[in-house]
């Protein structure tokens, strides 16, 4: 009768150690591959951004989180490395570059501030002439069509209640979107000179026309403000809302905690999830 083969204790311990090392190595390999895929997706395809201000109300609300298509206008140094904790400027121009369309909602940076992401709507392309007259938008001398869709008293970003009018605006290329006003045509944002967009730049505006710091007054500080956004500074096009959390009562610029998931049934804006950005 054959006796069972016995494994020496030292060999058994070594075998277990190799198995343990192999298991740890396999886990590390999976984690590395997952991180690599996530970085590639975030760098080349889609990157998430949150909306911290009300400049694009009613299109985007404070507390919205959106996916931005990084490939929409090709790749620049700013767009490729925006997903990293630091954003080195390694080259100029865009790879596979293309112009945005008037009406696109775009995330971008400005030359004087490489750490802040802005999001606005493209209103003018190179060579376009933009002007606001008594609250009406003019593009290349033509008044942009708009029609009143609602009027009500609402709490706005200042924390005060104002009469708010919403209009459906139709841009020259047929793109329609909703804007809102609180000044009813008054104020410096509603009455401007003519802006002629230079080559290699775009003109940006918020849909919350009276409460948006945009190309009408310049981005950055008054000493180094940029009225026009260079094409190289475009990060990508906002595509879809994937998450949205309500603001705190009486605090239109402060959101509820997104980490308090047990409160999501009451704090999420369920009707906004997966809504396209138009």
Give the integer Cα–Cα distance in Å for 271 and 58: 14
Largest CA distance in the chain: 105
Q: Is 120 marked active-site?
A: yes
Q: What is the 3-state secondary structure (H, E, C) of 64-118?
A: EEEEEECCECEECHHHHHCCCCCCCCCCCCCECCCCCCCCCEEEEEECCEEEEEE
Four-point Cα dihedral 206, 211, 216, 218, nearest 10: -100
Question: Catalytic pick from 55, 87, 212, 244?
Answer: 55
Is 109 known to be catalytic?
no
CA distances from 113 to 118, 208, 214 (A): 10, 23, 14
Going by the DSSP 8-state scheme, the letter that residue 6 receives in this structure is: P
Cα dihedral across residues 269, 270, 275, 278: positive or negative? negative
Residue among 150, 217, 208, 141 at smallest CA distance from 179: 208
- Name the residue with tokens 């009225």: 227
Active-site residue, selected from the candidate residues 70, 109, 120, 165? 120
**For residue 179, is the peptide bond before it cis, meaning its omega torsion is within 30 degrees of 0?**
no
Instruction: Provide the annotated active-site residues.
Output: 55, 120
């Amino acid at each position: 009768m054959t006796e069972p083969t016995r494994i020496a204790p030292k060999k058994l311990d070594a075998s277990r150690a190799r198995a343990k090392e192999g298991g740890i190595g396999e886990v590390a390999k999976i984690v590395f591959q997952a991180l690599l895929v996530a970085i590639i997706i975030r760098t080349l395809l889609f990157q998430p951004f949150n909306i911290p201000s009300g400049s694009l109300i009613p299109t985007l609300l404070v507390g919205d989180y959106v996916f931005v298509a990084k490939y929409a206008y090709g790749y620049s140094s700013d767009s490729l490395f925006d997903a990293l904790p630091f954003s080195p400027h390694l080259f100029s121009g865009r790879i596979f570059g293309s112009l945005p369309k008037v009406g696109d909602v775009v995330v971008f940076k400005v030359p004087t501030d490489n750490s802040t992401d802005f999001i606005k709507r493209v209103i003018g392309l190179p060579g376009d002439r933009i002007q606001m007259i008594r609250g009406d938008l003019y593009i290349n001398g033509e008044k942009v069509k708009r029609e009143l869709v609602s009027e009500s008293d609402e709490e706005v970003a200042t924390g005060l209640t104002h009469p708010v009018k919403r209009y459906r605006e139709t841009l020259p290329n047929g793109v329609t979107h909703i804007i809102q006003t609180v000044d009813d045509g008054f104020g410096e944002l509603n009455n401007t000179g003519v802006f002629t967009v230079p080559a290699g730049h775009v003109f940006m505006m918020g849909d919350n026309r009276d409460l948006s710091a945009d190309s009408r007054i310049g981005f950055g500080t008054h000493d180094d403000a940029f009225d026009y956004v260079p094409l190289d500074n475009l990060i990508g096009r906002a595509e879809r809302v994937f998450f949205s959390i309500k603001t705190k009562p009486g605090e239109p610029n402060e959101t509820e905690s997104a980490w308090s998931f047990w409160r999501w049934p009451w704090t999420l804006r369920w009707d906004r999830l997966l809504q396209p950005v138009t």
